[in-house]
Amino acid sequence: MNRITRNTRLAAAILCAAAGTLAGSAHAAGEARNVIFFLGDGMGPVTVTAARIYKGEKQLAARPGSLASPERAHLVMQSLPFAARVKTFSLDGQTTDSAPSMAAYMTGVKMRNEVISMSSDTTAVDGTGIQYINGENTTCPPTNGKAVDTLLELAKAKGRAVGAVSTTRVGHATPATTYAHICNRNGYNTIAEQSTPGHANYNPKLLDGIDVLMGGGQRNYLPKSLNPSSKRTDNVDLVAAMQAKGYAYVDTGTKLRAVDTAATGKLLGLFSQSEMAYELDRVKQNLDQPSLSEMTEKALGVLSRNDKGFFLMVEGGRIDHALHGTNAKRALEDTLAFDAAIQTALDYMNRKDPGLKNTLVVVTADHDHAIAFNGYPKIGNPILGKVNGYADGKPSKAADGKPYTTLVFGNGGRPNASAGSQVNPEDGNKPWIAPARAPNRDDQSAMNTEDDNFLQEVGINLGAPGSETHGGGDVMLFAGGAGSKIFKGTLENIKVFDKVRQAAGL
């Protein structure tokens, strides 16, 4: 083959490849009338892997012999056919806060930490470093940045139904980025007002309102006259205001299960004062709160009635909180509950939209955590247990001759002299089991590292339980259904917005 012929064929191949790429992009554009965006808060790669193994352990306990080993279990999210890695840094931090990381997905704009769905010039603090909040009310100056459009608002403008569901309070960073605009994420009262049609602070881009909003957060919607735990500083009842605009309101799992979605146009569910319970506690304590799967199914029942389509965001928000607490067991339980909600959505939509021909499903995380998968444990070693080596099956020992667990954290908190730091208020004030971070490591030989209230060992002590930080690593993204083929490679988090918008024709 001479050089001219070779170059001609090379050029033809490049043109064909480019044409294929453009054709693929054109095919993806506008395919998805329906978008379900799943966000596992803080659900980095180690958490996903550990949850898969944990699921395998549960499966083998229920059905012995159903897997060769727990490592071979399958998560629903990992069954989606397309995958990518996502860079998570914010405008001002190598390690991001949840507000700008989720806002990057929802708006395509890089923001500073603690900023929710605002322009890049917005700041969460004043020139002296004081946060723009007073209690849970905003003090953001009106000249401090501008609101930027979110995917939920763009969908609403197209006449589609919209919703947000979370196991955190509905005004927490992740759900708030879909429908609110505020310079500091901690202005929870103001965020609640932005979701309430008719309020002076209502977000007009929501038009007649979010069609479904469910999670915790009663203390930001109900006044002290009705709710002694309220954080509101006025006597405004935002729940009553939303009911006056046609919302059905539920505050227990029992009431949510009774909702007839065929007869419900708008649905508000607030199931706790602040965050909802961890899945482990919800089940063990038999709390009358819905599971994430139940909320997801009811949300889809309301939203999917719109013939023009819908946008729904579903967050497994307490994965993040358990990781902040270095309580791996609750993090893994909530990750599996999140994965179960994905299965619920896939089953529901495959009945409504066979093959997901008009429905895009995206699953990702907003950031990682400082959790690590440790040592050389043997196949089948309990993921919450101490490491037993693959070579001899015996307990692995650190240089000090003491055992260590598979899951550890680079930093985090430990119980200290204060009584409040020593117990878990969400589990009847049972004491934490926490190896001390001291010059000499605690011997964990006799510790039950699989106890509900065991806190994994930390490398750097940052204070009391709950003080572990986010991690700056890339996270995984999985996608399936209409338009999902464009989710691949390594992406800036702001580019995820572009791809969802393209696939959904927004």
- 3-class DSSP state of 268: strand
Contact 175, 315 (CB under 8 A): yes
Residue 469, CB-side half-sphere exposure with 13 Å CA sphere: 14
Distance CA(350)–CA(339), nearest Å, equals 17
- 3-class DSSP state of 266: strand
Which positions ≥6 away from 264 have C-beta within 8 Å? Answer: 248, 301, 302
Instruction: Outline where 264-373 has alpha helix (H).
Output: 279-284, 292-303, 318-324, 328-352
Tell me how many degrees the CA angle 282-286-290 measures, rounded to the nearest 5. Answer: 55
Distance CA(285)–CA(184), nearest Å, equals 34
Residue 409, CB-side half-sphere exposure with 13 Å CA sphere: 36
Distance CA(238)–CA(483), nearest Å, equals 38
Place of tokens 């929501």: 206
Contact 40, 364 (CB under 8 A): yes
Active site residue 98: yes
Tokens for 360?
């895009």
Closest by alpha carbon to 196, among 246, 263, 230?
Answer: 246
- 3-class DSSP state of 405: strand
Distance CA(427)–CA(277), nearest Å, equals 10
Closest by alpha carbon to 401, among 460, 434, 443, 433?
Answer: 443
CA distances from 330 to 170, 452, 472 (A): 21, 7, 22
CA 250 to chain centre: 23
Tokens for 203?
């977000």
Strand pairing class (82-87; 475-481): antiparallel
For the chain, what's the residue count? 506
Which positions ≥6 away from 27 have C-beta within 8 Å? Answer: none
Distance CA(166)–CA(314), nearest Å, equals 6
Distance CA(400)–CA(414), nearest Å, equals 21
Among 98, 101, 293, 484, the one annotated catalytic: 98
Residue positions annotated with a catalytic role: 98
